[in-house]
Amino acid sequence: GGGEGRWDFREWVNHSPQKADFLSGVVEGLRRAAPKEVEAALRLCADFKLTNAVPQIEPLLGHTNPAIRGTALSTLEQLKVPLRAEPLLSFLNSATHLQRLQAL
């Protein structure tokens, strides 16, 4: 799908009386075991600019799943969060060229 569907969804949530419940559910999703759920929660954190979720996102930079590590890094970049060097060290040794570039 294009960006339009996501925009409509964001607008709907932003005007919803349950917005706070939804956004706290997104942050809870960062603690899920299923990688797809965690990745979806990370993307929603970026979409909704949930800078309050940064303390839950930063530890995911060390996740065992490389896709989650990459999505966490992208999310923090989109949130314009200054990152400490330590969590990024694992990315410098990544097998993925893009992740090495992101870490730099």
Alpha-carbon gap, residue 80 to 63, rounded angstroms: 20
Give the span between the Cα atoms of 73 and 87, in whole angstroms. 10
Which of 7-16, 17-26, 75-84 is the least confident region?
Answer: 7-16
* pTM given for the model: 0.73
Over its C-alpha atoms, the chain yields an Rg (Å, rounded) of: 14
pLDDT in tens, 30-47: 998 899 999 999 999 999
pLDDT tens track for 50-95: 999 999 999 998 888 989 989 999 999 999 988 766 666 666 666 5
